[in-house]
Each structure stands twice: as structure tokens, then as C-alpha cells.
Structure 1
Amino acid sequence: MERGGAASPWPRGRRKPARAACRDPRGPYTGPSLRPEGPTAEKHPVSTPASSSALRISASQGTARHELFFFNYFRLGQAAVYTALAFRPEHMNWPALPEPVFARLFALAYLLAALVLVARTRRTLHRPVLIVSIGLSLDIVAALLALVLMHDVRMGVAMMLAVNIATGALLLPFRLSMFFAALATLGMLGHSFFDLAIVDVSDREFAEYGLFGAAYFACASLCYVLGRNIRASEALAEQRGIDLANLSQVNELIIRRMKTGVLLVDEGNRIHQLNESAWMLMGNPSADQRDLGTLAPELSRRLYHWRTSGKLDESATMLADGTPEVVPRFTRLAPNDDSHVLIFLDDTSLVSRRAEELTLSSLGRLSASIAHEIRNPLAAIHYSAQLLAESTDMNDTDLRMVEIINNHCSRLNEIIENILQLSRRERSRPETLDLGKWVHHFVTEYRQGNDLGLDILRAVSGSEPVAAVADPQHLQQVIWNLVQNALRYGRMPGEPARVMLVARHSEAGIPILEVIDRGPGIPPKVAAQIFEPFFTTHEYGTGLGLYLARQMTEANQAALEYVRVAGGGSCFRISLTPPARTAAAAPMAAQA
């Protein structure tokens, strides 16, 4: 297997995006929300089925807040009216006060109770039913006392009590609303029966109080239905608000994670918003850099050309040193409005990689079908050559020709195996391995199956176990290929190869396997391409070995990279996945 391939220029880590403007020094702008510049909206929790009852409670509390305030303030005004009537000037004869002292004491007591209820309104918002029930009971008792002590204002008292009952019905259950309406009606009718002071008008008062009782029931029923509809409307509006906030949050997350860069630029070439991809494609600008002309002059020039002529330059360009080339596209945020323009930056490297994946997939399937067709005649040629080599009538020249046939058959079979591996992507079956024991077992097994001669292959591991999760068969194949490469190419001219297989932990505690040789190393220009498919520096290579090795490591959630060794030599490093904490105590499989 020969060396070939290029390492990705992008780091594996991903920046956590800032939620508010200019807070993260690595990401200067507020996520991808394409709104005018300003602080981002507060996040709303995603609603769940379990939150429907809480939503109704929240809506009912919101309704109760306004109605309870109105209820208590109306009672305060009602008490102020009673107080003003009780403390009327002496020269006024209306209303008649048979017992002025009791009337004034009653008015002051009712006014004090109303003030207490108003002062404690905010503290009692979580118990509206109890507070309204207490308030209505107080209002009915106060109305009956006012009828006795201020008989001349009986019509006004009865009308104000209707407002109390109607307001209470907005907040109370239906049965409780009907109870207080019945209580007020019975109180009025009872007063008309036992009021013996004005016998000549008792029949008329009885009829009036009966009509007021009917009005109490009608107002209570109507306001109960109205309150129920108000609460349902508020619950629906709040649910719609939460759904809208959730949808906005999902949209922002989608745009933030898009591979395509997105910018929002105003007519003064000032950047208002950009997502993570745009931030990286523009060279990771700092928070205070928002002028497009300063950050990306070529992009600013194309934007001006598009605004003035309407023509789009679709050629690729690089916005900053070390970033991939992009193809910018422009669109107005609103029709016929140039004040804000959306800029989309299409990363050409993503398109190239996708095209490469599609090409390799198609090529793999085609190559596999061809390889299967070649394998049968190749096996026949190889078998015939082996039989021919066993003949006793062949001279040295013929034996040499048979040897050449066998060697090329073996080489061609190796190429076919690599092509078949390119088309076959076997599923990973990870296990927990002790890499220290695994490398010693691998070296022992390799020595038994291969004649090393003067070459040196040794395993190096510490005393502590190095646990990792990987498919033993995949790991065996990858390490075997890397060791084969190291023994073949990692030697100085005229000297035996010296190869080490090292199992250790990185500084961050990640399990690592390294294949290290003391050869001449790989030139930087070649090292940048060794993992690319079909790249090879060997005369008879296929360029698939290291590419397949990296594909297998990535299938095991691992990473394969080339590291140049100081003082000469090469190192192929595999960073594996550590086991989960819950499985740390489980027994580790030490063999492939």
C-alpha cells in the first residue's frame, strides 16, 4: 500500500455561536437571524404536550390580573361613594340617614376593607377564586347594609352590585357565579320582606328587587361565557406566540449551521448579520470589523457591480488568505428595496468534495464489477503458472518467465483487492480494546506470518492500560497496511527498517496508536496529497491504500493523520474514541 492523500484544511472543532451581538471574540455577530441590528430576542421554551395545562393556567392568570385589578378598584370607588353619602353636609336632606353614626361607621369600614384588598392585589394574583369570593361576599353584605342605612339610594346600590357580580363571574367558575347571583337576589328580596318601615311601597320594591335578581343572573351568565372565551383566546394567542418563537429559533439554528455562508449587508456596505460559515470564509474577522469594503474588497466590488448593472459575476474568488474559494450570489431582502441585501457564499470546496464522493462511488461500483470479471481468468492464469513451475522439463529461462507471471498475478490480485475494498464499506462492529496488549499481540502475529529478515518491528506501550473503542478487524487491517508501508518505504538506503507500533494516551487523554519509522520521511508537498484516492508515488501503486485506511478509521469514529518526526522519519497517528464512562469498568477485549 502506497502513501497518498491530502489533509482537510478545516479543524474538527466548531465554535459555539454567540447569542448576542459582538459578545464572542471569535464570532462577532448575532447568529444568523436576518433581522435589523440589535439584541437578539429571548429564547422561548419549546412547547410540549405536558405544557398545555400550564399554558391554560398562565392564560387564566393573565386574564385574572387585569380583571382583579378592575374589580378591586371598582370596589374602592364604590366605597368612596358610600363614604361621600354617609358624610354629606348637614344642610343636605338627601339621602335620609336614620342612623348617621352607624352609616358613617359602615362606610369607613367598607372603605378600609376596599383599601386593604387593593393593596394586596398583586400578592393574591395566584388565588383569584378565593379573593373574588371574599370580595363578593363583602360587597353583598355592604349592599344590604347600605339599603338599610341609606334607603333612598337603593336603586344605585342595586345597580352597582350588578357590576360586582358581573365582574366576579369573569373569574369564577359557573356554579360559584350563580351562587353569588342567587345570594344577592335573596338578600335583596329578604330586605324587601323585612323592611317594615315603608309599608306602602313594599310591593313596588319587591318587584324591583326581583327584576334586579334576574339581571344578576343574566349578567353572571353572560360574563362567565365572555370570560371563558377571553381565557381561551389568550391561551391560543400565547400558544401561537410560543410556536412562532420556536419556529424562529429553529430557523436561526438552521441558518447558523448552513454550509453556505449568509450575510446581511445594508446600503452603506455595513454587515448586520452573518452565520458561522460566512465568518470562517471571510477569515474569522473580529467583532468590531463590519465594513464589507474593508473585510472583503472583492466581494464589495461585486456587490456594487450587481447593484448598478444587475449582472452577477459567477467566477470563484477567495475572500481571505487560507480560505476556500467561494461563488457569491446576491438577492434583495425585499422586492425593489436596495437598503438590505442578502449575500450567499457557496463554498466551491464543498461542491468539489461532493462531486468527488459521487465520482468515487460510481467508480467503485464500476471497478468492482470489472474486478470480479478479471478475477476468474486471473485465477486460472495463476494456477496454470503454478502447475507449469512444477514441471521437470523446464530450463532456467522458462522458470524465470513463470516466476514473472506469478509475481504479476500476485500484484494484479492485490490491485483487485484494493478496488473491491473501495466498493465495499463494511459496517463497523466496535469493541472495547486494551491497545497496550493489542499492539504486542499484533507484532507477535505479524512476525509469525512475515519474514522480517534484518528489519525491526517492536511494540511500545506503558504500564497503564490504554482503552479505546474500535472494530478489531478494521484496526487490524489499517495497522497491517501502515506497517507494510513503513517496512517498505521507511528505511534509509542500505539500512534495515526500524518500525515502532506505539500505544499511548495523548495529553488530552485520547487513546492513540502510532506507526513510526526512522526513514527519510515524506516531503511536505507529497504529504499534503497522500490520503487522496489514486495518488501514488510508486511505479506499481494504485493510490488507494492510505485512502482506504482513512475511510476505515473514520468509520470507527477515529482520525488518521500523518505527522513528521523531528530528526527524520514518519509517523502515522490514529486518534481513537475512548470508552464511555459507564463501560470503563467492563472487561476489555485484548485481541482482534
Structure 2
Amino acid sequence: MPHTAPPAFAPSRAATEAVRHELFFLNYFRLAQALVYAGLAFSPPALGWPHLNDTDTARLVALCFLGFAIAVAALTRRTMPWTRLVTSASLVIDIVAAVLATGAMQDARIGIAMMLAVNLAAGALLLPLRLALFFAALATLGMLGHSLLNPQGDASVADRQLLEAGLFGLAYFAITMLCYVLSRQLRASEALAEQRSIDLANLAQVNELIIRRMKTGVMLVDDANHIHQINESAWMLLGNPSADQRDLGRVAPELSRRLYHWTTSGKLDETATQLADGVPEVVPRFSRLAPNDDALVLIFLDDTSLVSRRAEELTLSSLGRLSASIAHEIRNPLAAIRYSAQLLAESRDLGGTDLRMVEIINNHCVRLNDIIENILQLSRRERSRPETLDLGRWAENFVDEYRQGNDLGNDTLRVISNGSEPVAAVADPQQLQQVVWNLVQNALRYGRMPGEPARVMVVARHGEHGVPILEVIDRGPGIAPKVAAQIFEPFYTTHEYGTGLGLYLARQMAEANQSSLEYVRVAGGGSCFRLVLTPPARVPGSDAIAAP
């Protein structure tokens, strides 16, 4: 699943990690600062430096500050949820300790003031600007107050100390502002980097998914014939080898040979080849992953069946438009021929032979008109208008209308349904009429044993999981398996007067209605054309079925 960016109010992982590092730095710097205070307060008197104005106060401040620094450093991880509160309280203690240490260790006042600047800078990285400036002002007031309330030496020395305190205050404000601006830029850069990493991770996942689902097989092979990556299509075109088989020479020797020939001669063999039993033929193509790198090669396996299918679809589309154009041109003279033949048949001067000729003309005009109608249906591809139907009632009405419009003679056509239980389905009634009419017409014409009448049934029933099914079954000789595999292909026919478009159009209209049409051989002889339709969506409180 692709990564998602964190909410605007939640700190990112990179920002949280940066705050943790800055808090660690501040706490451990405070510990080092406290050790410096302790070292200055407990320095041997023989060194003579620094001069302690108040030894007891200096040592007490150093020990208390050291204990506080150790406690805060030890509790750094636990205080992470309260970073702002802990940092603010710690800065107050840092400023108080620095002011007291400056008063007790006058000789080290400059170093103490400089170390306090580091505390304020770290605080500016962790706190909002107003709060950081407040502590800079507090530190400035502390240093100025110490210089005013505890003057050391004559007036010139006091003035110098006051100037130093003012300059330190100015430095505190400048450092605070600078560190705050830098912290904002760092946070923005970290957030941008994290967002870029999320985008790159998402892009990598999308690319991997696209390559994995591509119809073209894709493989990445190194110079040692080792397969590094392979998508699903390539894995299937190689015959579904096991996951531990990564040697191209063993998985596909012919492909390995062609790769070696391409790398040594630079010539590509573009003939189709079958890499494993039971898989389509492919045309391999090779490309180096980098222009100047021979270590990795991308192999593309183009499935020739997909190319052929696409070419067939384009051919059928073009043929359909061309045939429709020709059919329109043929229709007008055909109508004139048929009309003239009908008028000629009414003449009383014609003999038996002439009447037979006129009958042949009429029969072939009817056949040619049927061919034109099929071709026009192939080119129209009208959009379906589905309705909810009761297949049992619809089949009964269809059979009644068919009997009224066609002379069945000794042939039989009957309906078998679930009785009172409705078989609900969603389909376009007009297109369903054309599909079933075509199937019944074929069953009555071809689904009969020699010398016997045809027996055709239209069955409406429920299949597995309540799927609505409509079947046209005959008791004829059936269809040979070799022929059955091709009967839905366009322009395929075994009859000398057939167009090969009836079953193709029937399947196309079935698919336009989200249904499927298939041939099923009947045990004991006969054929079954099964139409599996779409059941209606279940809407609570609405079980009505539209009348056919």
C-alpha cells in the first residue's frame, strides 16, 4: 500500500528525531557545564585562579546544578512528551545558576556567560520564538542586574562589567534569533526530505505494480545470466518456473542463447519462439539498463498472441466499416431485384421451369438480405439498455412469438422453466431476443438427426449461487470438438450458405449485456448453447421484476 503523508498537526518522524537529538545535546551540554562549574568551585587554592568571592556559595551552586544536570540527563527519554515544559524549566535554572556562579566566581564570568549562550541557542531550536526571546531577555536582565547590584572594584571596572553584560545580552538575542531561523529552515528541509522520500517510495511501488501487471514480460538479467527481477507475465511465458530457479540458461536455454548472440554481435533475432510447453510464442527484445553498463540487461518478451489479437480486432473493425458501406450499396439493387422477381412470379405466361427460376431468385435474395443484416449488425454495435426480466416468462413469450412467425412443421420448440419461481436477470430485451432467435434458428436448422424432426428446448433456470441461466438445447448430432473451438470466431462456418457471423454476433451482444455465451456438449448427443446472465442487484424492499 502506498505511503501517505502525516497529518499537518502531527510532527513527522524526522522532526521528532531532530527534537530528540537537540534535547539530548542540551541536557548533556548542561552536564558538561555543571562539571565546569564544579571544577572551578573546587579548584585547589594553590592555583590562585579563579578567585572565589564566596567559596561556600560557589560550591553549593556547583553541586546543586550538577545534581540537576545529572537528573535531567538521566530522564531525557521520559521527558520527551513534555519537551517544551522541561526545556523552559531547565533554561530558567540554567540562567539562575549562571548568574549565581558569575557572582561567586567573578574571574570566570566571561566564560560562564559564553556557556549560557549555548543553552539559549539550544533552547531556540526547541521552543517558539516568543518563548526563546523571553529567555534571552531573562538572561540579559540577569547579567545586567548582577553588574548593577554587585559592582566589583572602582567605577571604571564596574562600567566595563556593565558594558560586557550589555554586549552579552545583545549576543543572546542575536544567537536566539539566528538559531530559531536555522531551526525553521532545518524543520522545513527535513519535512520536505521526508515528503520526497514518501513520494519516491510511492512512485517505486507504483512502478513495481505497473511492471508486475504489464502484459509484456519484463526481466532483469546480469552478465552472469542470473535473473534479478521478473514480472508475472514473464514468469508465465517462461512456463511458471520455481522461485529458486534464477539461472536463465536453465530456465530458458533459447532465450539465453539469443541474449548471448545479441551481446556478442549486437544483432537481434526477431523470430517468434516458444520458451516452454503450453505457453504462447514470444518475440524477445533486449536493452541495456545503462548505456555504458554491460552488467545488467532488460529483456522484454512480447506475447505474439496479444499482438495477433489486437491486429484481428483492428482488422474486424475496419472490415466491419467496409462491409457496412458495401452492404448499404447492395441493399437498393437487391430490393429492386426481389421486387421484380415477385412481380414476374405473378405473370400467367410463365412455365414451371421459369417459376422455379423465379423461386431461386427470391430464395437467394432472402439469403443475401440476411447476410446484409448480419453485416450491418456487426458494424452498428448498439449500446445495450438493460432491464430486469423474469427469464421464465420471457422465454415463454419468445417461443409463442417464434411459433407464430415461423412454420415449425414437424419440429418441436418448447420451454422448460422453474415453474412459479422467477428467474430474475438483467439484460436488454431486444438484444436478448436477437441472441436467442439466432441460437434457436441454428438449433432447428442443424440440431437434428438425419430423417428426424428437430427437438429444441429453451431452458430458464438458476445456476450455482443463484446465477440466471438461459439455455438452447437440441437433440442433434452435436458439434465436433475441433469445430466447437472455432464456432464463435467471425466468418467461420461449416455450411456452404452460412456467413459465419451469427454466433459471433450473438456472443458480442451477450458480452455487451455483461453476460457470457458458451457451447456445452450434451451427454448422449446434442448441443447446448448456455447464456449466463447477470443477476439483478439486491435492493432492500424492492423485489419487483419488470414484465418482459
Going from structure 1 to structure 2, the CA distance change for 1:515 and 1:132 (only over 3 Å counts) comes to farther
TM-score, length-normalised on structure 1? 0.85
Going from structure 1 to structure 2, the CA distance change for 1:155 and 1:589 (only over 3 Å counts) comes to same
Tell me which of 103, 118, 123 is aligned to 1:163: 118
Counterpart Cα distance in 2 of 1:450 and 1:484: 10
> For this pair of structures, how many residues does the alignment match?
546
Unaligned runs of 5+ in 2: none
1:466, 1:504 within 8 Å by CA — same for their partners in 2? Answer: yes
> Bigger shift: 526-535 or 487-496?
487-496
Counterpart Cα distance in 1 of 2:545 and 2:406: 25
- 1:68 equivalent to 2:26? Answer no
Deviation at 1:54, TM superposition (A): 5.7
- 1:240 equivalent to 2:196? Answer yes
Tell me which of 81, 89, 94 is aligned to 2:36: 81
Tell me which of 131, 142, 145 is aligned to 2:100: 145
Going from structure 1 to structure 2, the CA distance change for 1:521 and 1:199 (only over 3 Å counts) comes to farther
Tell me which of 476, 482, 501 is aligned to 2:458: 501
Matches within 5 A, 1:385-396: 385-396=341-352
Counterpart Cα distance in 1 of 2:75 and 2:477: 86
> Bigger shift: 470-479 or 269-278?
470-479
Can you list the C-alpha shifts for 1:427-482, whole angstroms capped at 9, x where unaligned?
Answer: 12233334344334433433343333331322333765444333232222212211
Going from structure 1 to structure 2, the CA distance change for 1:118 and 1:426 (only over 3 Å counts) comes to farther
Deviation at 1:171, TM superposition (A): 2.7
Counterpart Cα distance in 1 of 2:424 and 2:78: 59
Instruction: Give SS of 1:264's match.
Output: strand
Identity of aligned residues (%): 73
- Equivalent position amino acid for 1:302 in 2: R
Partner of 2:211: 255
Structure having greater relative contact order (Cα 8 Å, sep ≥ 6):
1
Counterpart Cα distance in 1 of 2:524 and 2:71: 88
Counterpart Cα distance in 2 of 1:560 and 1:81: 90
1:433, 1:588 within 8 Å by CA — same for their partners in 2? Answer: no
Matches within 5 A, 1:206-245: 206-245=162-201
Deviation at 1:559, TM superposition (A): 2.2
Going from structure 1 to structure 2, the CA distance change for 1:286 and 1:542 (only over 3 Å counts) comes to same
Tell me which of 561, 570, 575 is aligned to 2:532: 575
Partner of 1:543: 500
Going from structure 1 to structure 2, the CA distance change for 1:196 and 1:242 (only over 3 Å counts) comes to same
Instruction: Give SS of 1:543's match.
Output: coil
- Equivalent position amino acid for 1:222 in 2: L
Instruction: Give SS of 1:315's match.
Output: coil
Counterpart Cα distance in 2 of 1:586 and 1:340: 61
Counterpart Cα distance in 2 of 1:588 and 1:298: 61
Counterpart Cα distance in 2 of 1:145 and 1:329: 80
- Equivalent position amino acid for 1:492 in 2: M
- Equivalent position amino acid for 1:354 in 2: R
Going from structure 1 to structure 2, the CA distance change for 1:100 and 1:421 (only over 3 Å counts) comes to same
Matches within 5 A, 1:294-309: 294-309=250-265
Going from structure 1 to structure 2, the CA distance change for 1:325 and 1:191 (only over 3 Å counts) comes to same
- 1:473 equivalent to 2:430? Answer yes
Going from structure 1 to structure 2, the CA distance change for 1:577 and 1:204 (only over 3 Å counts) comes to same
Partner of 2:479: 522
Going from structure 1 to structure 2, the CA distance change for 1:220 and 1:299 (only over 3 Å counts) comes to same
Superposition RMSD in Å:
2.6
1:563, 1:573 within 8 Å by CA — same for their partners in 2? Answer: yes
Tell me which of 439, 445, 451 is aligned to 1:482: 439
1:435, 1:590 within 8 Å by CA — same for their partners in 2? Answer: no
Deviation at 1:357, TM superposition (A): 1.1
Tell me which of 123, 130, 136 is aligned to 2:85: 130
Partner of 1:416: 372
- Equivalent position amino acid for 2:257 in 1: R
Going from structure 1 to structure 2, the CA distance change for 1:521 and 1:118 (only over 3 Å counts) comes to farther
Deviation at 1:389, TM superposition (A): 3.4
- 1:279 equivalent to 2:235? Answer yes
Unaligned runs of 5+ in 1: 1-42
Instruction: Give SS of 1:412's match.
Output: helix
Instruction: Give SS of 1:122's match.
Output: coil
TM-score, length-normalised on structure 2? 0.91
Counterpart Cα distance in 1 of 2:97 and 2:531: 86
- Equivalent position amino acid for 1:309 in 2: S
Counterpart Cα distance in 1 of 2:474 and 2:9: 66
Counterpart Cα distance in 1 of 2:437 and 2:338: 25
